[in-house]
A and B are shown apart, each in its own frame.
Chain A
Amino acid sequence: MHRYRFILTRPLQFLPVVLGVSLITFVLVRLIPGDPARVLLGARATPTAIANIRAQYGLDEPIWLQYLYFLRNLAHGEMGTSIVFRIDVLDLIVTRIEPTVALVLASVLLSVLIAVPLAALAARNRGRPVDHLVRIVSTFGIGFPPFWLGLMLILFLAVQVPLFPVSGYGTSVGEKLAHLVLPALTVALSLSTVLLRSLRAAMIEGLKSDVATAARARGMPEGVVFWRHVLPNAVAPTINLLAVNVGWLIGSTVVVESVFALPGMGQLLVRAIFSRDYMVVQAIAMVFACATVLVNLAADIATVAVDPRVKL
């Protein structure tokens, strides 16, 4: 089990990063010109509310002490109140987590389903026309703006051929899944182009590896060599690649949620920016940053789990 010991030590390495994230979000909101209490509470704040905020964040104290107050509030799970929704920011965010997490998971699943067969096709036919075709398509795909791709998918798969709902989320599990197809496909088409290039390279390496050569020497058919020896070795690089791109993935979901009116955290972030609901902006930025850090930890654990050779 000592291979998994890093699970205990790794969070200690993340601590400075999480502190830094809190410092940056703290500084960001304090950079807004004007009285912070008024900025956080909006123009129509009552004097009592302003007095409460001044006390809670110690706004008359020196700035470093204010940061410590901010950390203390964080430790108690207090991230303030939304001006627009008039409820606790964390309570608000909790109601928005499900669509975003579902979208991210569905996008990753779809992009793996798209990228792995195409990468295998390209790698096994290296240098042939089909390989070039896959490369050109993936080079094109990287430049597809998700917001535009989403609208085109709506046009073709929701309007012209009414297969899927245009936008929104629904209430039952079935409705939710139906509403997730097009947004997830939008993100997945972009993400798979990123995966495709690296997967193809990893598979070409695998096909040239000693393991593959030895398998061929034992008379194993090429197809079996690929499925037994090449594909499993491409899993770990794929996990790492997904982890590296998780920030990009979250960014795409922010945009795609707005296109499809999916009531997730990304849509909430964009609306909060327009309504100057800074507490919400601050909290969502922190939640997304912490999620990125956690996903990277999860990816490390998964890499160790799937590949016995890896030691962290």
Chain B
Amino acid sequence: MLHTRRPAALTAGLAILALFVLAALLANLVAPYDPIAQDGAARLVALSWAHPFGTDNFGRDILSRVIHGARVDLQMALIGVFFPFVIGTVIGSLAGFAGGVVDAVLMRLIDIILAFPFLVLMLSIIAILGPGLTSFYIAMALVGWVSYARLVRAQILVLKSADYAVAAASLGFSRPRILFRHLLPNAIAGSLVFSMSDAVLVLLSGAAISYLGLGVQPPVAEWGVMVAEGQPFVTQAWWITLFPGLAIVLLAFGFSMLGDALGELMGVHE
């Protein structure tokens, strides 16, 4: 069963991701209209050939805004995963490799950060830094590394007594060399798989924070912002809200499928 599913999930995930990457890169060419250009003559226009996804209360073309939104939301997911991934991997491998007091202190810090509900801690940090995308990235880096650190630490703890690690040590290799050249490459598979489901979490968090008005600021076309802007008109012009939400669902599905496929390819199970 797994063998028939594996290529399908991988293909589907890659195809969806490629679609969004292309939309982001070619937004200026593909989008029929300027995403922030207002058109007083075309307010709240329903789906039509001129506006396949309709327009909002400023007469802005929803299709163009969804396409341009791919730039912001894709960037949000990638940067929002990248920094926690790097920071968490470094801290987790240090904790697992060094052991002792370093490990104990870092693990307690992780316990404390995990005691906070993820979004509540994110929002508290953004409250201090002020709304905006930069604040979101900083908050994400401060909070998100924890999961990666735990994953990598657990792997390093197992791997550091593996035969090849002992062999490398008896050959007289330095400790950093053993950690970075021998242990880390083997410890990282689980984090790579996790980063895909994490991308879903980051995307949803970033969009939610922007929806609340604390992330990406209008008039930038971002899917969470678009949903918030469409909310007052949801009964008369549902298309303003529907399409950016569908874009989030589809991109998240792409990341999930890719994560599933990677997990099966690498033999990692969460």
Residues in chain A within 8 A of chain B (CB atoms) = 16-18, 20-21, 23-25, 28-29, 31-32, 127, 139-140, 142-149, 151-152, 154-155, 159, 246-252, 254-255, 258-259, 269-270, 272-274, 276, 278, 281-282, 284-285, 288-289, 292-293
Contact = CB atoms under 8 A, between A and B. Distances in A.
Contacts of B252: 142-144
Nearest to B203: A143
Contact of A288 (B120, B250, B257): B120
Contact of B111 (A17, A269, A273): A17
Contacts of A254: 117, 119-120, 123
Interface residue range, chain B: 35 or more
Nearest to B245: A148
B253 A127 contact: no
Contacts of A272: 127
B108 interface: yes
Contact of B118 (A149, A155, A251, A273): A251
Given A139-B253, A148-B241, A270 B234 contact: no
B115 A17 contact: yes
18 contacts: A17-B108, A17-B112, A23-B112, A25-B124, A28-B124, A143-B200, A145-B204, A146-B208, A148-B245, A151-B234, A151-B245, A246-B117, A254-B119, A255-B119, A255-B211, A273-B214, A281-B123, A281-B127
Closest 5 pairs (CB-CB, A-B): A143-B252, A251-B119, A20-B112, A148-B245, A247-B117
B132 interface: no
Contacts of B59: none
Contacts of A251: 117-120, 205
A23 B116 CA distance: 12
Contacts of A154: 234
A21 B116 contact: yes
Nearest to A273: B127
Contacts of B118: 247-248, 251
Contacts of B231: 151, 259
B124 to A, nearest CB: 5
Interface string B232-260: 00110010011011001111110111001
B127 A20 contact: no
Given A154-B234, A269-B123, A145 B116 contact: no
A148 B228 CA distance: 9
A66 to B, nearest CB: 17
Contact of B227 (A151, A273, A289): A151
A29 B125 CA distance: 9
Interface centre among A21, A127, A147 (most CB of B within 10 A): A147
Contacts of B248: 143, 145, 148
